[in-house]
Amino acid sequence: MKPKLLLFDLGGVLIEVATTELHLLGGKDKSDVELWETWLTCPAVQLYEAGKISDGEFARGVLDAFSSAIPSEEFLQSFTAWPLGFYGGMTDLLRRLRRHYKLAYLSNSNPLHYPRFQREWQLDGYFDYHFASYKMGHVKPHAEIYQAVLATLPYSAQEIFFVDDNRLNVEMARSLGFQAEIVRGPEELLSVLASAEIATGI
């Protein structure tokens, strides 16, 4: 089925995220993929990005989970700066895609990153629908956040094409009937869109 709506994860798909600090937390011997899966499943991260704990509780929980001695305030300052901005060419791509499809994002986000997305990059202006986890009370990869998205959108899961850089998130989306693919960075995104015969031109 041809999709009617394209649903994007943000970090690692459209927005570049620095991984240097994550490697300092989680170990330089691990790959980015391994570290992001560890991060995604960390209880403090899940609670924070579901809007259920404070900045300070988040910092303490992450630092304990990763056995890090970094001071909490230093970690929070560093964490706020992790998102670096849209990958090159992504805003133009979104403008082109929007001529053919409705666009939405579904992001595990938080009170430190999300305001930057709006203030610095005018994120919402590129999308028709906006789903930020900490405002929804749920996080990926749990089924509840996808169900909340479906309850809001005028499309079935089968009419939605979802891309995310994390295997766990994509597997859950597929289990609920979404068309879903793993994408890490702009080159993979363009390749996946082409394979799915999703129009990216005028």
Name the burial class of residue 120, with classes exposed (0-12), middle (13-18) and buried (19+) by CB atoms within 10 angstroms of its CB.
exposed
Q: How far apart are CA 148 and CA 169, in angstroms?
A: 15
Low-confidence ranges of the chain (pLDDT < 50): none
Instruction: Residue 40: name the closest of 127, 124, 139, 184 by CA.
Output: 139
Judge whether 87 and 16 are in contact, CB under 8 Å: yes
Tell me the pTM. Answer: 0.94
pLDDT at 37 (0 to 100): 85
Judge whether 138 and 50 are in contact, CB under 8 Å: yes
Structure tokens at 37: 């899966």
pLDDT at 29 (0 to 100): 72
How would you write the chain as a 3-class SS string? CCCCEEEECCECCCEEECCHHHHHHHCCCCCHHHHHHHHHCCHHHHHHHCCCCCHHHHHHHHHHHCCCCCCHHHHHHHHHCCEEEECCCHHHHHHHHCCCCEEEEEECCCCCCHHHHHHHHCHHHHCCEEEEHHHHCCCCCCHHHHHHHHHHCCCCHHHEEEEECCHHHHHHHHHCCCEEEECCCHHHHHHHHHHCCCCCCC
pLDDT at 199 (0 to 100): 77
Within a 10 A sphere around the Cβ of 92, how many other Cβ atoms? 11
